[in-house]
Structure 1
Amino acid sequence: MNDDLTAEILRNALCTAAEEASIVVVRSAYSTFIVEGADAAAAVLDVRGRLIAHSTSTAIIQCASLRSALPYLLRRFPAAEMTPGDVFLMNDVYQGGIHANDLLVFRPVFAEGEAAYFTGTLIHVADLSGLSAGGMASDATDVFLEGVQLPPVRIATAEGLVDDVVAILAANSRTPDKLVGDLRALIAGANVAARRVAELIDERFADGVAAYLADTELRMRASLRAIPDGTYTGAYTLDDGLTVRVAVTLADGAATLDFTGTDGQVPLPVNSGFSQTLGGVMYAIRCYVDPALPLNEGCFAPLDVVLPEGSLVHCTRPYPGGGRFGTVAAAEEAIFAALTSALPGRGVAASGILQGFSMSGVDRPWLHMSFDLGGMGAGADRDGPDATGALFGGGRNIIPQAEPVEARLPVRIEAVELIPDSGGDGTRRGGLGTRTVIRLLEDARVDTRGDRLHRPPPGAEGGLPGRAGGYFRELPDGTREPLDTKATRQPLRAGESFVLETSGGGGYGPPPGRAEADRARDLADGRTTRDS
């Protein structure tokens, strides 16, 4: 068989194994947010901790988490001591995890009697203790308020689940049945991928994987060489007044991204664990390289990412890390700002980002977790897309659909719509934010976590900022009251509505430069109004 053809078959087989694992997890999960929103990720790795393949139809922002956590697992459980059927579990944000509710599962794959490869799966489970019923502890001052912390533990063997560990997890969940169901789904996904990888292993497999990763690295370096060598700086400030700073240095097909100068960690859930920041870095860099590159270790190899310990982008114990996505998005914006000076004409205004929330029952246990996505900032040559969640790095739509949510929970979703005039004006208009209205049929509590609400996404090159979003309580008579943008257990009564509005993206270029034909189309499409 032609070597190039063999390599292509192997590449697709590995990517399919990771993708199939993520699909198995989604289809097997018990939590509505997972089943309907597909917030999952899966990967194939080797015993050296290298990422061989990653699911891409799910959240790309998780691309570094399984890769970052595996070395910590191997320190606790050496590969030589693992046996067939072992499955391991962890969530520690300081050891490559994300936050308490994001569980990471690993299963070794054996070659010639040794653990040589690993499959991994990751989802946000229904509930695992902490201040918030959905893991959105937006007013946590330390990690212990965010939920149960799990160092690497053995969760299953060839004999089945380790019942004592499962019992401890279930006892620390407000929805134990869903938690255990989600855990079984994670293991099922890892098992499926492990079988697929085992079927591929032969005497040529290791060499084939090495060649595959080397080819990706070669192509990644070629893409980086297309960006002029030099050092470029950028920064972005969160609602809390904290700033992420980066210096991007490009030299001969390699890049150093140094976040020295970023503000220090704070006792608020805005810090990011290092793996999530690294995922954001990869997302941002991939916006400037060959989009056909497969997502594997070859993409990481040319990058040297400096994340100072004890900073917003690399929190340390006991600082909380659950609210990381505002900081991760700020890191991405800082990289975009830096590379704009390297690539004139490829600039972009700031975007509205993911705004999360969770609702839980007061009189009986039920839980709804979701988010909506802001408008993307306009670019030098295009308007910003509406409601895209550009900086979250999603693959498939990860917002649960209205009908399944209404069928499972005591809520009625009365509106999911674009907000006219929310995109920043400019020569190129920012993308529109969204409005979601959820009527409560039972008393509930709501947890909120958002950013770019007090400091709306700024425009670029003379463009105007997007319209700021927010969280609101709407009374039956239509009166609207603002909710805190980062808080837990805010009361909502039956008959009241929860309103989530996301921020629009910033505009690019001075507004007088916008073509009259574009303004007429905006008005005809309802993106703008005559009043604006």
Structure 2
Amino acid sequence: MVLCQESIRETMMEVRDAVTAEVVRNALSMAAQEGGVVVVKASHSTFIQEGADSSAAVLDATGRLVAQSTATTLMHAASLRESLRALILEIPTHTMRPGDVFAQNDPFKGGIHANDVAVLRPVFGADGGGPYYFAGTIIHVADLGGGYAGGVAATAQDMFAEGMNLPPVHLYRAGEPESVVWKIIENNSRTPEKVIGDIRALVSGANVMARRVEELVERYGVAGLSQHVEDYIAYTEARMREELRRFPAGTYHGSFTIDSDGIEANKTYQVEVAVTLPGDGSIQLDFEGTDPQARGAINASYSQALSGVLFAVRCFLDPSIPMNEGCYNTLDVNFPRGSLVNPNPPAACGGRIVVVTAAMEAIVEALSVARPDMALASSGIVHLYGMSGVRTGVASPWLLMAMDFGGLGARATCDGPDATGAFVLGGRTAVLQVEPYEAQYPVMIEHTRPRLDSGGPGEHRGGLGIDTSIRLLDQAELVVR
């Protein structure tokens, strides 16, 4: 009878532990989700409010990804991770204080390109210890200078033509705004009110996340929450390895050709990858053979290329796998220095989604050879465009930014989804919304609709792209990336 009671007690404790672990995992995930949604709702840019080009994540004090928002785009996951690692190299954690908030956008210090600004807030314990975690947010802010409004510098040949470069800097020190930094940002924008509003939205999202994580630290203790984080990462890694073991061991090759960099019209660029699956639940991705970095703005910084790799692998395996460091623990990636997927400064990176998409397509091609039953055809790329001008008669500058998507490629078992943007930016961004744009800008959206028969015929057709027609009601400059 005593042994039976002991067994029941142990079973009940195991059940309670499992339930608590699941509660904490979901709390961390929801903290990131809430932060991402707050940024979108608080942003001053219609592009963010309606397009949701936003990311949010909880990270630990060493720069490991703990939880990533899946309510917004997934394609910035590695940027927040790498930006934090760059931050703590330049501003050590022992110098940080409660109420500090940092920002940076340098593509060669974890960033993506000038207009994608990352904000990071350290999370301390109630006793002032720490920081134990960081809350990170990132969006494409309205405008930070450069050759073209909105950061769509299609003809840029270096990072300086793409906009202002921010190294890791304080936005707030102990809760007080670093006014000089805010002034510099404001003075380098064509739309100062919008860009300041966007950065305040980033801070708001980080603040909400930080509060949620502080609540978890208070409830479970520093050591208790740390153990739950380790368990969460281990759980994710185990799921990744389980899926990878389902692939036949071997090395598989994929490639993708880019038509042009926008500068040299007749020059193509190649992205090559060798994907090795040892059979032990790991995956090696070697981009040796990829062309050197381009003069044009298609280069992908290390963090953005890494985001693309993780997105392609994880979503090919099982998109329900959580987004955290456990995913990275299964990857061994080689990005040759000075190549399209790991350029040297001051390479232009504003159109990096071209190379990121090429890298993802190459990976999917290789994995499709390994598992034909899961094969996925090539997908449409995102087309980001901007229109800007000064309203006639009122001297008021305006900037419209939006995206159109191609469809997802056909799968081995079904048609590809229409115009989802799923294979670019993580499938959480949205196409132009008619009413908000017409209300705020001198444009008339004549139509935005699926482009019929654009997916390609076959047993399973590819997803349809988008057909958008916009009538300008004032003088404007149009740029397409």
Q: TM-score, normalised by structure 2?
A: 0.91
Counterpart amino acid of residue 54 in structure 2: A
The percentage of aligned residue pairs carrying the same residue is 53
Q: Please give the residue correspondences for 1:266-285 in structure 2 after superposition, counting only pairs within 5 Å.
A: 266-285=294-313
Could you list the runs of 5+ residues in structure 1 that have no partner in the other structure?
Answer: 450-532
2:409 match: 377
Q: Please give the residue correspondences for 1:312-391 in structure 2 after superposition, counting only pairs within 5 Å.
A: 312-363=340-391, 364-391=396-423
Counterpart amino acid of residue 436 in structure 1: T
The separation in 2 between residues aligned to 1:437 and 1:290, in whole angstroms, is 36
Task: Find out whether 1:116 has 2:96 as its counterpart.
Answer: no
Task: Find out whether 1:175 has 2:195 as its counterpart.
Answer: no
Q: Indicate the RMSD between aligned Cα atoms, in angstroms.
A: 1.2
2:257 match: 237
Task: Find out whether 1:435 has 2:429 as its counterpart.
Answer: no
Task: Find out whether 1:67 has 2:81 as its counterpart.
Answer: yes
Offset at 1:159? 4.0
The separation in 2 between residues aligned to 1:79 and 1:104, in whole angstroms, is 17
Task: Find out whether 1:24 has 2:73 as its counterpart.
Answer: no
Counterpart amino acid of residue 220 in structure 1: M
Q: Please give the residue correspondences for 1:387-398 in structure 2 after superposition, counting only pairs within 5 Å.
A: 387-398=419-430
The separation in 1 between residues aligned to 2:422 and 2:100, in whole angstroms, is 37
The 8 Å contact of residues 66 and 96 in structure 1, kept in 2 or not, is answered as: yes
The separation in 1 between residues aligned to 2:175 and 2:123, in whole angstroms, is 17
Q: Aligned to 2:415, what secondary structure does the other structure show?
A: coil
Of 40, 43, 52, the residue aligned with 2:66 is 52
Of 363, 387, 402, the residue aligned with 2:434 is 402
Of 291, 295, 299, the residue aligned with 1:263 is 291
Task: Find out whether 1:188 has 2:204 as its counterpart.
Answer: yes
1:226 match: 246
Offset at 1:242? 0.2
Counterpart amino acid of residue 158 in structure 1: A
Offset at 1:97? 0.5
The separation in 2 between residues aligned to 1:428 and 1:197, in whole angstroms, is 45
The separation in 2 between residues aligned to 1:70 and 1:36, in whole angstroms, is 27
Counterpart amino acid of residue 231 in structure 2: A
The separation in 1 between residues aligned to 2:187 and 2:196, in whole angstroms, is 11
1:211 match: 231
* Inter-CA distance 99–397: structure 2 relative to 1 (3 Å threshold): closer
The separation in 2 between residues aligned to 1:395 and 1:379, in whole angstroms, is 16
2:94 match: 80
Q: Aligned to 2:372, what secondary structure does the other structure show?
A: coil
The 8 Å contact of residues 126 and 179 in structure 1, kept in 2 or not, is answered as: yes
2:265 match: none
Could you list the runs of 5+ residues in structure 2 that have no partner in the other structure?
Answer: 1-12, 261-267
The separation in 2 between residues aligned to 1:57 and 1:133, in whole angstroms, is 28
**Superposed CA offset, 1:126-165 (max 9, x none):** 0000011010101001110000011101111224211100
The 8 Å contact of residues 372 and 412 in structure 2, kept in 1 or not, is answered as: no
The separation in 2 between residues aligned to 1:32 and 1:193, in whole angstroms, is 23
Of 176, 180, 197, the residue aligned with 2:213 is 197
The separation in 2 between residues aligned to 1:41 and 1:271, in whole angstroms, is 21
Offset at 1:239? 1.4
Counterpart amino acid of residue 45 in structure 1: L
The 8 Å contact of residues 33 and 68 in structure 2, kept in 1 or not, is answered as: yes
Offset at 1:399? 2.5
**Superposed CA offset, 1:229-276 (max 9, x none):** 111111000111101000001111000101011000011001100111
Task: Find out whether 1:446 has 2:478 as its counterpart.
Answer: yes
The 8 Å contact of residues 353 and 390 in structure 1, kept in 2 or not, is answered as: no
The separation in 2 between residues aligned to 1:389 and 1:204, in whole angstroms, is 39
The separation in 2 between residues aligned to 1:211 and 1:430, in whole angstroms, is 39
The separation in 1 between residues aligned to 2:422 and 2:208, in whole angstroms, is 31
2:143 match: 127
Q: Aligned to 2:89, what secondary structure does the other structure show?
A: helix
* Inter-CA distance 397–93: structure 2 relative to 1 (3 Å threshold): closer
Offset at 1:397? 4.5
Offset at 1:353? 1.0
Counterpart amino acid of residue 42 in structure 1: A
**Superposed CA offset, 1:23-50 (max 9, x none):** 1111111111111221111100001111
The separation in 1 between residues aligned to 2:286 and 2:271, in whole angstroms, is 11
The separation in 2 between residues aligned to 1:419 and 1:211, in whole angstroms, is 46
Greater alpha carbon shift after TM alignment, 110-119 vs 412-421: 110-119
Offset at 1:346? 2.3
The 8 Å contact of residues 443 and 473 in structure 2, kept in 1 or not, is answered as: yes
The 8 Å contact of residues 91 and 103 in structure 1, kept in 2 or not, is answered as: yes
Of 273, 276, 288, the residue aligned with 1:246 is 273
Offset at 1:395? 4.1
1:412 match: 444
Counterpart amino acid of residue 30 in structure 1: H
Q: TM-score, normalised by structure 1?
A: 0.83
The separation in 2 between residues aligned to 1:258 and 1:24, in whole angstroms, is 38
**Superposed CA offset, 1:110-139 (max 9, x none):** 135121110000010000000110101010
The separation in 1 between residues aligned to 2:292 and 2:86, in whole angstroms, is 24
Offset at 1:218? 1.3
Structure (1/2) with the larger helix percentage: 2
2:117 match: 103
Task: Find out whether 1:298 has 2:314 as its counterpart.
Answer: no
